[in-house]
Amino acid sequence: MRWVFQSKQDATIVNALSHDLGIDSTLATLLVQRGITDFESAKQFFRPKIEDLHDPFLMKDMQKAVDRIEVALKASAPIMVFGDYDVDGTTSVALVTSYLQTLGAKITPYIPDRYAEGYGVSLQGIDTAAAEQISLIIALDCGIKAIDQVAYAKKKGIDFIICDHHQPGDTIPEAIAVLNPKQKDCSYPYKELCGCGVGFKLIQALTLHRGGTALDLVPYLDLVVTAIGADIVPITGENRVLAYLGLQVINNNPRPGIQALGATLKKKDWTISDVVFVIAPRINAAGRMKHGGYAVEILLEKTYETARSQAAAIETFNASRKELDRSITQEALAQLKELKEENRTTTVVYDKDWHKGVIGIVASRLIENYYRPTVVFTQSGDVLAASARSVKGFDLYKALEACSEHLLQFGGHKYAAGMTMLPEQYDSFKAKFEKVVSETIDPDMLIQQVPIDCELSLHQLTSKFYRILKQFAPFGPGNMTPVFATHNVQDTGYAKRVGKDETHLRITALQEKGKPITGIGFGLGDRLPLVTNRNTFSMAYSVDENEWNNRISLQLKLKDIQ
């Protein structure tokens, strides 16, 4: 692993901030790294408020969207709320559906079948709307490239409002309103909203239009924070406000569906990690294994007892997803071993029988083993479908654009994408993708990084230090959990491999002037020889709490040892 240290910050700014806030210089340095340079910006960072949100009418086409929805409400006309089958899409549909229902709207929530309809706005969904005499579809977390579908709907007398956050193409669909802050001519000040975040701005605009305030919408933020965490968008600016307040809702008054999905969490305060690793996979499992509609149902459910039985069904989907994920990853690794492609800069694998619902997870697993841009294909009807994942710093979306002649369609972000192609294009795509990536990627990007915020001595790890550090949360892209480096460390002599297969490492780290502190390194069992026999070593780690026998103590989560 390559340790990458943050650049030095201006000492004058750090010292002034340290003085103004009454915190040590290391914590002040962490704040300056995050763009927090004075008392007021620190106050906004540590205490986000609903008033910090931007005016939703700054988003291009927002007034048009509000006006069209008001026309439908006044006429008591039914509305279809259409969303993608992943966490961002299903939470978006639940958000907008539940809000519009409070205004008396007749809503048809619609999630496309992952296998029968595929990603994005589907003709089948439009036909369903036409059959039910629906003349307005609100598309969430999809639609920015649905040019033909929107034109098809127009012929059937159906209007579209698109709420999306994916990268727009050169042509924008001819919808009544297109809400997407990434449009070149959209001056909305914050560009990194997820799909559910754009949906939230829509209901915020409707609320303001009707004389309410954003405060009225706080109960919906448990959905928004779930989408923010699952979709791996930056937790900066407006997303930080939505995530911070959303976690408060989850911890104090979550909707029954979220409460039921997180019933396995036996802890007092849920963090965004709990949302990402417990709630989100279960919501996703519905769309991966059965149908995303199950996720919308539980998120809309008003009684906890019913939500509990729905959560039990989703739990079986999640168990099946885990087993498929494990077995397909093993098959993919075996395929790579057989292909003997160690010198490639990309990983591209295919099997016609792999389950389409888990190939994205498998792509992420393969990156853990072969750290390089990865595409996993399977058969989907007459075409091949794939999920792709990237390594830190490399723009996967641009690479796919350069390979577009081999693809039927593609979409996504810098680090994750999906695509379809004709079977006969597989080999040519694989060759072109390798060529494009090998010619454009910085070789350093193929070595896994440990980004390190700053160096720390163990004696600095006090309860006060950690109490302030915890307030940096919620963590995520743009505000990652701080990682520290400490040098000249020894183990007290009790280091050992732990875990069922002894792949993890447990140490008790000691440095001059400090007390011993426990560290756990998942997957670092092979580093044991570096810390035995009173060897001196350096360690990269984040700081966490460990609860044992009702006692809470600080512990280190080891990232690497050198």
33-55 pLDDT tens trace: 999 999 999 999 999 999 999 99
Main-chain phi, psi angles of 446, to 5 degrees: -90, 0
Residue 551 pLDDT grade (very low, low, confident, very high; cuts 50, 70, 90):
confident
Least confident of 132-146, 264-278, 453-467, 485-499: 264-278
Architecture of domain 52-313: Alpha-Beta Complex (3.90)
pLDDT band, very low/low/confident/very high, at 63 (cuts 50, 70, 90):
very high
pLDDT exceeds 90 at position 288: no
Q: Could you give the 3-state DSSP secondary structure of residue 510?
A: strand
Alpha-helix residue ranges (DSSP H) falling in 22-137: 25-33, 39-46, 62-74, 87-102, 123-131
pLDDT for residue 513 is more than 80:
no
Tell me what pLDDT residue 414 has. Answer: 86
Tell me what pLDDT residue 327 has: 96
Sorted by where each begins, the domain ranges of the chain are 2-7+450-561, 52-313, 341-444
pTM: 0.90
Residue 276 confidence class, pLDDT cut points 50, 70, 90: very high
Are 504 and 498 a contacting pair, CB within 8 Å?
yes
Provide the total of helices (H) and of strands (E) in the chain, helices listed first: 20, 19
Let me know if the fold of 2-7+450-561 is the same as that of 341-444: no
Region 256-271: mean pLDDT is 88
Q: How far apart are CA 317 and CA 475, in angstroms?
A: 28
Q: How far apart are CA 349 and CA 425, in angstroms?
A: 14
Report how far residue 534's alpha carbon sits from residue 530's, in angstroms, rounded to the nearest whole number. 9
Strand, helix or coil for residue 208:
helix
Work out the number of other CB atoms within 10 angstroms of the CB of residue 529.
9
Tell me the sheet residues that pair with 110. Answer: 82
Assess whether pLDDT exceeds 90 at residue 29: yes
pLDDT score of 88 more than 90:
yes
Which pLDDT tens digit goes with each residue over 354-389? Answer: 999 899 999 999 999 999 999 999 999 899 999 999
d(CA 144, CA 113) in angstroms, rounded, equals 19
| C-beta separation of 347 from 370 below 8 A | yes
Q: Which pLDDT score is estimated for 195?
A: 97
- Model confidence over 165-213: pLDDT tens digits? 998 989 999 999 999 999 999 999 999 999 999 999 999 999 999 999 9
Q: What fold is seen in the domain 2-7+450-561? A: OB fold (Dihydrolipoamide Acetyltransferase, E2P) (2.40.50)
Whole-number pLDDT of residue 549? 77
Using one digit for the tens of pLDDT, what is the confidence trace for 532-549? Answer: 999 999 999 999 988 777
Instruction: Cite the beta strand spans of 272-373 per DSSP E.
Output: 347-350
Pick one of 3.10.310.30, 1.10.510.10, 3.40.1180.10, 3.40.50.300 as the CATH number of 341-444: 3.10.310.30
pLDDT range class, residue 115, cuts 50, 70, 90: confident
pLDDT over 80 at 550, yes or no = no
**Rounded-to-integer distance, Cα 33 and Cα 175, Å:** 41
* Phi, psi for residue 81 in degrees, rounded to 5: -105, 110
Question: CA geometry: angle at 173 spanning 167 and 177, to 5°?
Answer: 95
